[in-house]
Chains A and B, each alone.
Chain A
């Protein structure tokens, strides 16, 4: 029972991270119908920015942990947003009216470019970080211990999800975004600056990926320029699993994949956890191609 709880909590925190990245995939797909394969790299950049910020703060003598964390988070979200915005601007917008394959290739190119860019800038060796938030919360008389970092990840993700859901469903910005998702041309006819909304979508997705990048840095304490690839593919899987285009779906898909990985590692062995994840993806695509919460394409016109 204790072991199960332990894996459950590990899985939830991992799933939260996948979910945060998956939202970027799902939102971009929803609005311009393309898979942004460079999104994993955006997450990787978020991770690096957080690390660099921490080291810079240390060099300035700022070591008070709460302040350091807040500054790391803010810097990471800010810089990563700029990257997200720029990627859309140079790699996707000029291809807006091209055949669907063109932006896809462009995205893959962007992904390779960003990986190499970071490798050249920061070196290929993996970068360690000492635990900033050490310590565990023990429950059930010490049988289950949850590191504060994982707990913080779950809580922060939950808060972001609630905030984000309100933003999308209740604000005029969210409404404009949903309108663009349903009919960009009509949204333009009503006075929505569609290009601006698309840019904002990339910025929001990037900011959430930055949070995931920072939390991964804090949990595992080591990053390299290549972490974006596997995390990107898995989060993409999470988005498909939940139903591409659906925000709650992305979150649910992330959690499901996090739990599968965690339980598979805990009970079967960690060697095959990726096989388990991707087997699930194949099964979902065969039996429920619209994903768990995806909407079937039936609409009265």
Chain B
């Protein structure tokens, strides 16, 4: 098998003295959807941010398409073809929807803006209706669509999604997951997704990882993890 698209080896990340990631090894192959599940505070979002160099890994390496990106500045990492829809969505509240999407296309190929805008607005027709509205005044679900749409605008080869279903109505959750599936299939975009909604995330994913307290404890195909009694007990049946 060829080199994985993203290779995370032995990554440790700290917030001050607190060790949030305790030696993470993950591989993601081109064309895959990979889901990372785990409880609140396990370090899932920290991992996504560490991939983008903010915060930086204190130990270990991150390789993207064969290149060591561990020590690159954030804006250089995303220039390599990685986009993130981060925890808390982080849309620009005092900008219009259109301006938010324009921000998303900074590292895109020149001239691709109109085509990508069209594509994003087709995926999320709701954004089309709100195109001139100030993003901060939209509902949570609309903001989530905007955050994902903004990440898509740069046509990344690797899309990082942090809790795309958080706080959304079941119908919209379904819609968002079908969009993820569609962009993976149609545009061959590789997706690495962090989710608390383990059922949907594993069902959609080719492979999955389980994270507990800053460590990867389990990995396997989405279907295998879904069937695993431990995963079922911890993330699917219990606690809900």
Contact = CB atoms under 8 A, between A and B. Distances in A.
Contact of A176 (B78, B106, B150): B106
B10 to A, nearest CB: 24
A183 interface: yes
B152 to A, nearest CB: 12
B92 A179 contact: yes
A189 B54 contact: yes
B104 interface: yes
Contact of B78 (A178, A191, A299): A191
A253 to B, nearest CB: 20
Contact of B103 (A190, A193, A194, A301): A190
Interface in A172-204: 172, 175-176, 178-179, 182-183, 185-194
Interface string B68-111: 00000111001100011010101011110001001110110000
Contacts of B180: none
A190 B74 CA distance: 9
Interface string B127-156: 000000000111000000000001000100
Given A176-B106, A179-B103, A189 B52 contact: yes
Q: How large is the interface on B (under 10, 10 to 19, 20 to 34, 35 or more residues)?
A: 20 to 34
Given A191-B78, A300-B137, A186 B93 contact: no
Given A183-B92, A188-B54, A300-B137, A193 B75 contact: yes
Given A189-B54, A193-B75, A300-B136, A172 B90 contact: no
Given A300-B136, A300-B137, A191 B106 contact: yes
Nearest to B160: A189
A176 B150 CA distance: 14
A265 B94 CA distance: 40
Interface string B47-64: 000001010000000000
A299 B103 contact: no
Contacts of A194: 75
Contacts of A178: 92, 94-95
Contacts, number: 67
A254 to B, nearest CB: 23
Given A182-B92, A300-B137, A189 B74 contact: yes
Contact of A185 (B54, B99, B138): B54
Contacts of A189: 52, 54, 74, 78, 83-84, 86, 90
Interface in A73-96: none
A185 B168 CA distance: 24
A140 B186 CA distance: 73
* Among A176, A188, A191, A193: residue with most chain B CB under 10 A: A191
B106 A192 contact: yes
Nearest to B102: A175
B138 to A, nearest CB: 8
A172 B75 contact: no
A175 B103 contact: yes
Contacts of A301: 88, 93
A172 B106 CA distance: 9
B45 to A, nearest CB: 12
A186 to B, nearest CB: 4
* Among A176, A192, A300: residue with most chain B CB under 10 A: A300
Contacts of B104: 190
Contacts of B137: 300
Given A172-B102, A190-B106, A300-B136, A182 B86 contact: no
B26 to A, nearest CB: 19
Contacts of B95: 175, 178-179, 182
* Among B79, B92, B93, B136: residue with most chain A CB under 10 A: B92
A185 to B, nearest CB: 6
B93 A300 contact: yes
* Among A187, A188, A190, A300: residue with most chain B CB under 10 A: A190
B90 A185 contact: yes
**Across the A-B interface, the 6 shortest Cβ-Cβ residue pairs:** A191-B107, A188-B74, A186-B90, A191-B106, A191-B78, A182-B92
11 contacts: A172-B102, A182-B95, A186-B86, A188-B54, A189-B52, A189-B86, A191-B154, A194-B75, A299-B93, A300-B137, A301-B93
Interface of B: 52, 54, 73-75, 78-79, 83-84, 86, 88, 90, 92-95, 99, 102-104, 106-107, 136-138, 150, 154
Interface of A: 172, 175-176, 178-179, 182-183, 185-194, 299-301
Given A172-B102, A190-B154, 6 more contacts: A179-B103, A182-B95, A189-B90, A190-B78, A190-B150, A299-B136
